[in-house]
Amino acid sequence: MRFRDNPIVAQGVDIVIEIDINNSPGEWDCTFNRGIVCNHFCREKRMQNFTVCFAHGRESGPWGIKIRALAKVAETLGCRVVSRDDSDTLDPDLRVTRLIEEARAIDGPVVLVGSSMGGYVVTAASQVIQPVGLFLMAPAMGMPGYKESMPVPHARKLSVVHGWDDDIVPLEMVLEFARTHRAMLHVVPAGHALVEQLDWLTMAFADFLQNCMDFDSATARERLLATF
């Protein structure tokens, strides 16, 4: 911590403090009165160093139509984007292991996004990665051949999108998953690929990602205030 202006803290003196929070450097305006912080943060100048990690479906690829659209949203919000290519294996649990290994090298807060088998993958991986958010599209819950039928999500924000006309992943399984974990659930008129709702999906993801970023920023503020 260092004072950018006069380091003397006195009544009525406004100073700016530059503080490095883990994974979240920022510049804040604070007013001090006899050594006590009198007001909360006024602004954060630098954006959180967020990474959005995508996991594709069973037989799709890392840059399908949905991932391209949502990646553009993430980049517009200033996030780094990672989309794994797991098309060489149909083993969902091998994909989980790979995602966890890749995430270990990521600095800063993470949001995981998965479609179909990728929804299972990011949910299972979240138990280790502990992301800020999980955004699941037609997640493969309750499906045969998976190590965990319904993996337990570990994220501060959880949103699920499913299609009424999905003929691959039964809606009932996703409803059970969402109910058990109190997820924000959107059931839309679409099939398994959800491409009929692509425009809506990008807007829903933009709202979700912004909420994750706001939540993490607020948490950082609380941690900083606790140090005074």
**pLDDT for residue 150:** 95
**Can you give the residue range of the structural domain that contains 11?**
2-46
168 and 65 within one domain: yes
Residue 4 scores a pLDDT above 70: no
208 and 100 within one domain: yes
56 and 40 within one domain: no
Residue 155 scores a pLDDT above 80: yes
Partnered with residue 186 across adjacent β-strands are 161
Residue 10 scores a pLDDT above 70: no
Report, as an integer, the average pLDDT of 63-80: 97
- Answer yes or no: is 168 within a domain: yes
CB 122 within 8 Å of CB 151: no
**pLDDT for residue 23:** 44
Least confident interval from 94-98, 209-213, 220-224: 220-224
Report, as an integer, the average pLDDT of 52-80: 96
Given pLDDT bands bounded at 50, 70 and 90, which one contains residue 216?
confident
- Answer yes or no: is 152 within a domain: yes
By CB neighbour count within 10 A (0-12 exposed, 13-18 middle, 19+ buried), where does 228 fall? Answer: exposed
**pLDDT for residue 215:** 84
21 and 99 within one domain: no
105 and 18 within one domain: no
Least confident interval from 1-10, 85-94, 127-136, 216-225: 1-10
118 and 34 within one domain: no
Given pLDDT bands bounded at 50, 70 and 90, which one contains residue 33?
very low
**pLDDT for residue 48:** 55
172: left (phi over 0), alpha (psi -120 to 50) or beta: alpha
112 and 197 within one domain: yes
Specify the higher pLDDT residue, 155 or 223: 155
State the Cα–Cα distance between residues 86 and 121, nearest whole angstrom: 11
Residue 129 scores a pLDDT above 70: yes
Question: What percentage of the chain has pLDDT greater than the value 70?
Answer: 74
DSSP label of 216: H
Report, as an integer, the average pLDDT of 177-199: 97
State the Cα–Cα distance between residues 124 and 129, nearest whole angstrom: 9
109 and 126 within one domain: yes
- Edge-first strand listing for the sheet containing 184-188: 80-83, 51-55, 110-115, 133-137, 157-163, 184-188
Nearest one of 218, 155, 204, 222 to 182, comparing CA atoms: 155
- Answer yes or no: is 75 within a domain: yes
